[in-house]
Structures are given as structure tokens and as C-alpha cells.
């Protein structure tokens, strides 16, 4: 026997996955997670029995509901569904799938369009933070067509502006949860930061790399992956996150110098595989670190901004992400206050998803 549940398959930024209204799914988290595993076809390397694409970037789920919080329109819960294990992780956030939330909310009647452009205040349940999304709704209707282009996605689309203002320390309680902007783990200098996503930043040269290697080459380097995982687990302990062996956070990011001012080259890990492009939340962490004196990123990139911030470019395997950073000088220090960037999204399919009855109950 099978149950049919409503489902909208969407691309958000450089990621893809089903988007559900919360009331389409079981309220009990354990039952919900069983359903999501069945929906994505996990655990299986290719996820051939579900909607997953056999890669962490295409094994993501967004769950959206009308928010009861003051000043917020919708609540957004992100779930990373493992491809190789029966694990659904709701601890991280995903800024790419976040780009799909506002269009979905308007199209599903959770938010009313406000003229030609609609601003949606999104409360992220994973990190207890608020993000604003500005989307195009000409004539009160969501449009996905436009001339905005993001690296890592073919073609163009309507621009979606994401504004992050209170994401600093959302999961750990502090922007630098270990208490240091630069520290040593097993003889390797790292910066541990929690800005939109807990992140462990490592200089590529510290691990004998150039930093611009192709993702496939890095994925094939098993000793490197083992070393990164060992560092990541110790970073998680120092960040107050406990044993992170069964979690995808903190995420590792390798950095190296770029040939332009205000930029850094990055290879971002999911954490078991190298991202084909770059996570939005990880890019925000790197940008925040770039404008903060004393961090590893600040050593590798001359941000070139004034006391009020500036533009940071994160160069990744598919191109670049540009982030506008708002900062404030306090004495001799600089504090990051916000960040914004452009994404696109697209509705791919709307219909009903069939899942085995025993996956729902």
C-alpha cells in the first residue's frame, strides 16, 4: 500500500529537493523522518527509488509553515537526508534551498504577494534566526523568469535577494564559539566560526594542497577526507557542539589566496564530499571572517572595504558568489552586522509523491 502526499520539487540556488508544507507531513519527528527517507530513496548510493539524486546537493528537503512568531511570515525547517545512511539531519541550515522558500510560500498561499516585489520574513527553525527574502511577483504572481545568473546553474532566472542579519552564532551562541579567531588543531591553523552555518576554515596549503583542485580530485583523496574529518570532529568539540560524528556540521572549508582583492578561493565540503559549487551559508561564514581581523580568511584576502563593510567574493569550482557585507568598526575591531546575496530558484514539479504506508506510520 502507498500513500500519496502533496509535493513540490524545486531548485533553490545550486541545490535541489522537495519542498513540503509542514501539514503535509507527520507531526511526529520520527515518523516524518521515516517518510523523508522513503521520499528521497535513502539509504542508497543512487537513491533510485526516490526523488534524491545520489548526491548531498540533491538530497535536501525544505519544510515550510505559516509562522506564529512576531515579525515573521513563515517558518522554514531544512533537512539534509543522507544518501548512504538512514539519517535525516535537521541541525544544519541551507541557504541555497532557502531561496526556494519565499516563492513556495506565496504560491501555496502561506504569504500574500505585495505588488510587483514581495518581502518574506523567514524564521529558520534549524538556527533560530531570521532571513529576509525579496522576490519578484509582478501582478501578484511569482515569476521564476528573469536575467539574473548564478554560477553553478545553467541559464538565468528572476533575482531573489537574501538578507541575513541575525545569523551570527545561531547554532552555538557565538560568532567564534571556541573563543578564538585563529587556533591550532593537531598542528593545523583553523578558524572556527558560526555565521549562518558552523564552519571550520583551513588553509589548503596546511594540508599540502593548492586550493583550486577539482572536487572529483579531492573526493578521491581518501587520506585527505580522513584528515579533514578528524579535524572537523575536534573542531565540533571546541565549538561546544559535542560529538559531531553523526552530524554534517560543522562544515569544513579549504581556502587559498585569490588573484583579486576582496576574494578568496574556497573548496567547501558537505562534509563527506566536495561541493560542486558552494553553500550560501558557508560563503557567508567566509565573508564574515574576511572582514574580521585576526581570522585565517583575513590573512588570505584583503577585503578592501571600509568601516561599513564591502563586497566579498568567494571563488568556487563553478565560478563565484558575491556577498555584500555590512560591518561596524568598534574601537580597533570590526564587527559584522549583516550580509546579503543574490540567488535564483525554480519550481520543477508540483504533484503527489507516493510513499509506502509503513514509511508514514
Domain count, the chain: 2
Residues 87, 202, single domain; the answer is no
Q: Residue 306 to residues 46, 265, 325: CA-CA distances in angstroms?
A: 48, 22, 11
Q: In sequence order, what E strands does the chain have?
A: 2-12, 15-21, 60-66, 74-81, 88-89, 117-124, 129-136, 160-164, 183-185, 188-194, 198-203, 251-257, 263-268, 309-316, 319-330, 333-343, 345-356
Residue from 253, 300, 246 nearest 275 by CA: 253
**Which residue segment(s) compose the domain that 275 sits in?**
183-340
Residues 23, 142, single domain; the answer is yes
pLDDT tens string, the chain, 361 residues long: the values are 788 999 999 999 999 999 999 999 999 999 999 999 999 999 999 999 999 999 999 999 999 999 999 999 999 999 999 999 999 999 889 999 999 999 999 999 999 999 999 999 999 999 889 999 999 999 999 999 999 999 999 999 999 999 998 778 888 999 999 999 999 999 999 999 999 899 999 999 999 999 999 999 999 999 999 999 999 999 999 999 999 998 889 999 999 999 999 999 999 999 999 999 999 999 999 999 999 999 999 999 976 555 567 899 999 999 999 999 998 877 767 778 889 999 999 999 999 999 988 776 6
| Residue 166 belongs to some domain of the structure | no
CATH number of the domain that residue 129 is part of: 3.10.310.10
Residues 31, 76, single domain; the answer is yes
CA distance 209 to 181: 23
Give residue 234's Cα distance to chain centre: 22
Residue from 256, 103, 235, 105 nearest 179 by CA: 235
| Residue 169 belongs to some domain of the structure | no
Beta bridge partners of 239: none
Residues 120, 244, single domain; the answer is no
Compute the residue count for the chain. Answer: 361
| Residue 170 belongs to some domain of the structure | no
Residues 140, 207, single domain; the answer is no
Amino acid at each position: 500500500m502507498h500513500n500519496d502526499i502533496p509535493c513540490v520539487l524545486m531548485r533553490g540556488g545550486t541545490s535541489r529537493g522537495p519542498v513540503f508544507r509542514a501539514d503535509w507531513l507527520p507531526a511526529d519527528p520520527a515518523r516524518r523522518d521515516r517518510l523523508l527517507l522513503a521520499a528521497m530513496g535513502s539509504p542508497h548510493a543512487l537513491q533510485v527509488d526516490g526523488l534524491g539524486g545520489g548526491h548531498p546537493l540533491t538530497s535536501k528537503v525544505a519544510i515550510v509553515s505559516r509562522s506564529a512568531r512576531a515579525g515573521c511570515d513563515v517558518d522554514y525547517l531544512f533537512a539534509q537526508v543522507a544518501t548512504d545512511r538512514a539519517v535525516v539531519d535537521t541541525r544544519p541550515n541551507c541557504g541555497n534551498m532557502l531561496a526556494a522558500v519565499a516563492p513556495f510560500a506565496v504560491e501555496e498561499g502561506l504569504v500574500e504577494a505585495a505588488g510587483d516585489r514581495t518581502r518574506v520574513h523567514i524564521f529558520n527553525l534549524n538556527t533560530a534566526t531570521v532571513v529576509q527574502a525579496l522576490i519578484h511577483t509582478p501582478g501578484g504572481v511569482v515569476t521564476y523568469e528573469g536575467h539574473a545568473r548564478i554560477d553553478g546553474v545553467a541559464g538565468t532566472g528572476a533575482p531573489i535577494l537574501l538578507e541575513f542579519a541575525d545569523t551570527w552564532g545561531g547554532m552555538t551562541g557565538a560568532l567564534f564559539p571556541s573563543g578564538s579567531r585563529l587556533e591550532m588543531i593537531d598542528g593545523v591553523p583553523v578558524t572556527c566560526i558560526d555565521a549562518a552555518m558552523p564552519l571550520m576554515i583551513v588553509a589548503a596549503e596546511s594540508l599540502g594542497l593548492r586550493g583550486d583542485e577539482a572536487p572529483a580530485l579531492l573526493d578521491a583523496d581518501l587520506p585527505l577526507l580522513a584528515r579533514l574529518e578528524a579535524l572537523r570532529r575536534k573542531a565540533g568539540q571546541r565549538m561546544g557542539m559535542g560529538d559531531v560524528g553523526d552530524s554534517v556540521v560543522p562544515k569544513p572549508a579549504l581556502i587559498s589566496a585569490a588573484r583579486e582583492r576582496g576574494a578568496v578561493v574556497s573548496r567547501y565540503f558537505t562534509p563527506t564530499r566536495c561541493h560542486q559549487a558552494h553553500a550560501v551559508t558557508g560563503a557567508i561564514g567566509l565573508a564574515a571572517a574576511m572582514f574580521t581581523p585576526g581570522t585565517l580568511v583575513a590573512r588570505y584576502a584583503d577585503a578592501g572595504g571600509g568601516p561599513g563593510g564591502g563586497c566579498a567574493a568567494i571563488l568556487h569550482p563553478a565560478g563565484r558568489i558575491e556577498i555584500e557585507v555590512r560591518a561596524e568598526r568598534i574601537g580597533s575591531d570590526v564587527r559584522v552586522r549583516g550580509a546579503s546575496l543574490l540567488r535564483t530558484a525554480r519550481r520543477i514539479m508540483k504533484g503527489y509523491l507516493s510513499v509506502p504506508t509503513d514509511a508514514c506510520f
